[in-house]
Structure 1
Amino acid sequence: MNPVFPDLDPTSAVVLVVDDVPDNVAMLHDALDESGYTVLVATHGEGALRSAAQAQPDIVLLDAVMPGMDGFEVARRLKSQAATASIPIIFMTGLSDTEHVVAAFQAGGVDYVTKPVRTREVIARIATHVQGARQARQAKQALDVFGNATLAVRLADGRITWQTPLARQYLETYGGSEDGHLEPGLTEWLRQQAEQVLVTHEPASRTLVRGAGRLTLVLHHPSGDGEWFLVLREANDAALLEALSATFRLTAREAEVLYWVVQGKTNRDIGDILGASPATVKKHLEHVFEKLGVETRTAAAAVAIGRVPLLGRR
């Protein structure tokens, strides 16, 4: 039972209708109620935000033009909060000009209907979006239950709209997020890779390093509403790094550089991973070559794998 709205029926989908015109509200309320939906009503933007946060409706039917806070601003605020960001929004508008339709989608809407509203059309659209939203929510809940490290990120600004507890823990440990967003470098990477993933249908990955730990972020596919799924995987190579250091008498940083050379990374790649400049990586690599008695990256990798065989299984 919802403690704020105790009369909500947990077996029926909840629709929040937001409109400042009483006749519109009454018409929609009656039609939705007859179709088996639980209906909540708000007549202004502030009330809509409160009801959405407290009741967590399955969908919001939102008037675009209202006095005070308009529907576009309501949508933006709903999408900016993790608790309400995943709720689909259908705009109701008498403004059919392209700029207003575009504004509705930019504010976070998934669909729109024009006024005067045709109730059968509205109910059909609501049914479609509620089903999709519930399936997505069930999938996310399953990921939570099985302890996966997964999150959804909004492409436009890097805001994390949803994440499993394990994903939150990983990002905090590796410094991958700040103030509810991916950190700026990861957000830029996400934007750059998203277009490529759409073209190739191949996932993209990025690795964060903290000590001997590695966190790999894998960008898979868009999840809808301008969001993308990221899967996080952690690995700890403390034993390998210690073996490299002991075998070749390398410093901790030299061992890390050699490890990534074996993985086929360039100096620039290694610099990005370790938070160092390519020039600094090059200097460490020169020391590694000297200690291994080699002159090339290929030779260094071969010697390392020959002396520390477990490296070749990575």
Structure 2
Amino acid sequence: MTTISASARRSILVIDDDPAVLGLMDETLTGSGYVVLLAQSGPAALDVVAHTLPDLVLVDALMPGMTGWDVCRMFRQDPRIAAIPLIFMTGLTETEHVLRAFEAGASDYVTKPLALEEVLARIGVHIEAASRIRAAHKALDNAGRFLLAMNTAGETLWATPQAARLLAVLPADLRAAMHVADPPPPPGTVMLRHLAGENEIRLTLVGATGPDEHLFHIAAQTLFPERTLQTRLGLSSREAEVLLWISRGKTSRDIADILQVSPRTIDKHIEQIYNKTGLSTRAAAAATASRLLHQG
């Protein structure tokens, strides 16, 4: 049986109304090095993921109340967990039931009675694939590209971590009303604007990436940039104003003309900006200001 090093332990959420199945999977997965989370119903599973995000989910198809299909649909509607692999456990092998699982958003399925070595093999494949995808999403975030994908109905297919964070700021009714028209608008269209405190969140269509997959860029832009720079960097109001113009590519002479002061005065403000922030070049100052003012 394959085991996992302690430093690379992954967590798996098992959802089944049968205590015997939960016990079996708990023993099997723990013995293989996984951290195991257990839930005996759909609502209990939703409570678990509200506090802890697993690396993979195993869910029984037929449960009283909220079925496995219902759980899958709920998971796929939440940007935080939409990309987590979900494997159905089912005794139903008819094609229509298998298709129904995939239509609900399942990544894979295994049949009962469970062949444990096969289950472990499938888990390993999906966790590894999901790990690569998360690494790519994190790289996009680090590059300042907060991206997500939605289908025509407005359901989130995946989102980078920072994009998911910004999506979570949007009111639930606003998220529920999001959709993509058929045919979709041209790339670059701003699909949504929402005021959140001192920021405006914008959702912009990048383009279609599949038959029913549309890529979006989401960003939060401050409505009071000078105040943000002043507060975050400990600058005076005039220094923050100068830094803002630097971030917009203006030269010292340009800024002097805009603020109606001498270029020498602007150079003194820039020197103070460097002293207070620890930065040493205009390029570094501009990049820092842009990062603080444009989240995404």
What is the TM-score of this pair, normalised by structure 1?
0.55
Residue identity opposite 1:72 in structure 2: W
The aligned residue for residue 175 of structure 2 is 180
Q: Which of 215, 219, 225 is equivalent to 1:229? A: 215
Instruction: Give me the whole-angstrom Cα distance separating, in 1, the residues matched to 2:114 and 2:153.
Output: 33
The 1:132/1:156 distance shift into structure 2, 3 A limit, reads farther
The one-letter amino acid of 1:179's match is L
Match of 2:122 in 1: 125
Give 1:217 deviation, angstroms: 3.4
Give the corresponding residue for 2:99: 102
Contact 2:76 2:155 (8 Å CA) reproduced: no
Distance 2:122 2:51 in 1: 24
Out of 197, 203, 206, the position equivalent to 1:218 is 206
Give, in whole Å, the separation in 2 of the partners of 1:180 and 1:216. Answer: 14
**Contact map agreement 1:65 1:71 (CA 8 A) in 2:** yes
CA distance in 2, matches of 1:141, 1:222: 22
Query: What corresponds to 2:88 in structure 1?
Result: 91
**Mapped partners of 2:205, 2:216: distance in 1:** 6
Please tell me whether the aligned partners of residues 159 and 182 of structure 1 are also in contact (alpha carbons under 8 angstroms). no
Moved over 6 A (4+): 166-169
- Hey, what's the Cα distance between the residues in 1 that align with 2:163 and 2:97? 40
Q: How many residues align?
A: 202
1:26 to 23, 28, 34: 23
CA displacement, residues 270-294 of structure 1 (integer Å, 9 cap, x when unaligned): xxxxxxxxxxxxxxxxxxxxxxxxx
The reply to whether residue 205 of structure 1 matches residue 193 of structure 2 is no
Q: CA RMSD in A?
A: 3.5
**Structure 1: distance between partners of 2:54 and 2:164:** 25
Cα distance in 2 for residues equivalent to 1:12 and 1:209: 40
Name the aligned partner's letter for residue 205 of structure 1.
P
Task: From 66, 71, 74, give the equivalent of 2:68.
Answer: 71
Structure 1 residue identity aligned to 2:182: E
Unaligned runs of 5+ in 1: 1-8, 173-177, 194-203, 234-314
Amino acid corresponding to residue 187 of structure 2 in structure 1: S
CA change 1:187–1:69 in 2 (3 A) is: same
| Matching residue's letter, 1:229 | L
In structure 1, C-alpha distance between the alignment counterparts of 2:21 and 2:154, rounded to whole Å: 36
C-alpha contact 1:206 1:218 (8 A) present in aligned 2: yes
Q: Indicate how the Cα distance of structure 1 residues 164 and 112 shifts in structure 2: closer, same or farther if over 3 A, else same.
A: closer
Pick closer, same or farther for the CA change 1:227–1:63 going to 2, 3 Å: farther
Tell which has more relative contact order, 1 or 2 (C-alpha 8 A, sep 6+): 2
1:158 matched to 2:154: yes
| Distance change >3 Å, CA 103–CA 149, structure 1 → 2 | same
Amino acid across the alignment from 1:78:
F
Q: Pick from 12, 33, 38: which aligns with 2:35?
A: 38
Instruction: State the Cα deviation string for residues 127-152 of structure 1 (Å, max 9, x = none).
Output: 11111111111111111122114222
TM-score (norm 2): 0.58
In 1, are the aligned partners of 2:60 and 2:88 still within 8 Å (CA)?
yes
The answer for unaligned runs of 5 or more in structure 2 is: 1-5, 193-202, 220-296
Shift of 1:206: 4.7
What SS does structure 2 have at the residue aligned with 1:62? strand
Q: Distance in 2 between matches of 1:207 and 1:183?
A: 14
Change (3 A) 1:131 1:167: closer
Instruction: Quote how far apart the aligned CAs of 1:11 are.
Output: 3.4
